[in-house]
Amino acid sequence: MKSRLWLNLALVVVIAVLAALIYFKPGIKKPAPPATLTHLRAADITSIRISRAHTPTVELVRDGASWRMTAPLNIQADQYLVKSLLDDIDESVKSSFPAKQADLGKYGLNPPHIRLWLNNTEFDFGATEPISDYRYVKTGDSIRLTPGLLYFRLTHGPMWWVSKRLLPKDAHIIGLQLPDATLTLKGDQWQLAPADPSLSADAIQNLLTAWSTAQAISVDKLSHGKSEGEVAIELAHVAKPLRFAILGEPGFLVLARPDLGLQYNLDSYQRASLLELKNPARAPATAAAKPAASSNPRQPAHTAHKEPPHAGTAGSRNYPPGY
């Protein structure tokens, strides 16, 4: 009996040793993690600077949980585009070599095409390697070959990084002047001038929501288009109203901020939701059930109707992930 017990214990020990050998693999070195352009983590980066020849330098700084552009303009940055940039800073490195004795001009690095600073770490982007189409990037004392997606994100002009939102995310509208109507918040009630008793509370709320959530397709420097009117928006805790000039542009709704020297280019379908104050359209009522049977053949059957909810507000647009 004791011999069988000792035999079972010996088998348990052998199995445990074999399992440990399989799991820990002594003598076999684990492969080194793939090389990346930088070991900086996106969460640790608080400032970004992008420099290109003949183009104003772009400076972005972390402002709490969001990003703000401080040069060439002081304005809210596009949060999605900054995040996309930071998501690519750890792109893979195909190969690398010392930069000390390299001919920088041969690799398009004297001068570089683009310079990027993440915090105080500099990355110089040069030409592409002709066979693999990977791009030369100098950082520190080495030149590295990377796929080039990060470089692509840096090739856009300064206006690319400006937030596409017409109003700040946490803006609270207390006054809105359209070309044909003015809304003013008095206490907790909205007053409309000229008065229009036919307008519902939904019409006013839809207009306010459209402005609060509206985003442009793109932002450009201000052009000299002909003005077709103006929109003035008063925000709580903001001293001066924001003023948007409506510029004539076939196929688009262009809202300009002369004080910033910018224009916001929107889809033309947003014109109605942003510039017109009207009751939301409702679908016509339709029979939702067959007429109920009646015990009296002369009594008409009653038809059941279901009131459809009104459509949600238009006026916001999310730019595609490819930006």
Rg (CA), the chain: 31
**pLDDT value of residue 1:** 56
Output the DSSP codes for 66-98: EEEEEES--EEB-HHHHHHHHHTTT-B-SEEEE
Mean pLDDT in residue range 192-221: 95
Return all residues near 30 (Cβ < 8 A) that are at least 6 apart.
none
Backbone angles phi, psi at 225, to 5 degrees: -70, 165
Backbone angles phi, psi at 7, to 5 degrees: -65, -40
- Comparison of pLDDT for 125 and 90, the residue scoring more: 125
| Confidence grade of residue 304 (pLDDT, cut at 50, 70, 90) | very low
**pLDDT value of residue 312:** 31
- Comparison of pLDDT for 193 and 313, the residue scoring more: 193
Rounded Cα gap, residues 258 and 150, in angstroms = 33
- Comparison of pLDDT for 228 and 309, the residue scoring more: 228
| Confidence grade of residue 3 (pLDDT, cut at 50, 70, 90) | low
Contact 123, 139 (CB under 8 A): yes
Segment among 66-75, 132-141, 149-158, 310-319 with least mean pLDDT: 310-319
- Comparison of pLDDT for 56 and 15, the residue scoring more: 56
Mean pLDDT of the chain: 83
Question: b or e along 285-302 (b: 16 or more beta carbons within 10 Å of the residue's beta carbon)?
Answer: eeeeeeeeeeeeeeeeee
Mean pLDDT in residue range 220-238: 92
Rounded Cα gap, residues 259 and 75, in angstroms = 12
Mean pLDDT in residue range 18-42: 70
Mean pLDDT in residue range 229-255: 94
pLDDT of 34 strictly over 90: no
Mean pLDDT in residue range 291-296: 40
Taking alpha carbons only, the member of 67, 78, 91, 219 closest to residue 152 is 91
Say what the pTM is: 0.75
**pLDDT value of residue 290:** 41
